[in-house]
Homo-oligomer: A and B are copies of this chain.
Amino acid sequence: MGIDQLDGRIIVLLAREPRVGVLEMSRRLGVARGTVQARLDRLTSNGVIRGFGPDVDPAALGYPVTAFATLQIRQGQGPDVRAHLASVPEVLELHTTTGTGDMLCRLVARSNADLQRVIDRVVGFDGIVRASTAIVMENPVPLRIIPLVEQAAEERART
Contact = CB atoms under 8 A, between A and B. Distances in A.
Nearest to A96: B138
A6 to B, nearest CB: 15
A152 B60 CA distance: 10
Given A89-B150, A96-B140, A134-B97, A60 B82 contact: no
Chain A facing B: main interface SS: mixed
Contact of A68 (B95, B139, B147): B95
Contacts of A90: 148
A140 B91 CA distance: 11
Given A53-B18, A68-B97, A139-B95, A58 B148 contact: yes
A68 B62 CA distance: 27
Contacts of A104: 68, 134, 136
> How many identical subunits does the complex contain?
2
A144 B145 CA distance: 17
Contacts of A2: 61-62
A46 interface: yes
A22 interface: no
Most buried by B among A93, A96, A98, A145: A145
Contact of A136 (B88, B97, B143, B151): B97
Nearest to A141: B94
Interface of A: 1-3, 11, 14-15, 18-19, 46-63, 66, 68, 70, 82, 85-86, 88-99, 102, 104-106, 108, 134-145, 147-152
